[in-house]
Homo-oligomer: A and B are copies of this chain.
């Protein structure tokens, strides 16, 4: 019953908050992270340059919301990807890592907002923290499932998850920041490299005594 929106030009936008978030996403996706400006976002939403301040205390607050949204998207992607292997803990572990890297590569600007420098304490933002923790928890669950199945050696799963996170995060950053461009060995594609990195984590680099 509350239809007839968007028809008339109104003083009140109606849903400016979300429009600003969407505009921010579009902007960073199209033009990269440095292009993000309160004023440009306002322009894209068709409002005056200070209208955003009615919904976000400052630039960092807007970015914090975008970051939270990014972690939520990451969680969704991880869950979708490992859902393909309901009964194979090892594949779930491996593909949680691969899916993580996929997300970073597919949404580099968004990823950079999520992990970018914490200018003004948005990292302390409870909502952001919670969404990030949820993503971490997925990794942790995969590892513990593997441990339960005797596939990963017993030990502090938290520490292992931290190592795993470091690995996929580092690799993702190196990729999207263009420190790694060509594949180490010619003919490899991104999928191969992702396997390679996740396998390194699982098998380690030590000489194998058996198997």
Report A's interface with B, CB cutoff 8 A.
32-34, 112, 115-119, 123, 132, 143, 146, 150-153, 156, 158-160, 162-174, 177-180, 184-185, 193, 196-197, 200-211
Contacts and interface: CB of A to CB of B under 8 A. Distances in A.
Given A170-B173, A207-B151, A209-B209, A197 B117 contact: no
A108 B184 CA distance: 28
Contacts of A163: 167, 171, 196-197, 200-201, 205
B208 A153 contact: yes
Q: Is the interface of A mostly helix, strand, loop or mixed?
A: helix
Nearest to A149: B207
Contacts of A132: 179
Contact of A205 (B143, B172, B184, B208): B143
A117 B206 contact: no
Given A162-B184, A163-B171, A200-B201, 5 more contacts: A118-B177, A146-B205, A166-B174, A169-B173, A169-B174
Contact of A210 (B32, B165, B209): B209
A196 B157 CA distance: 12
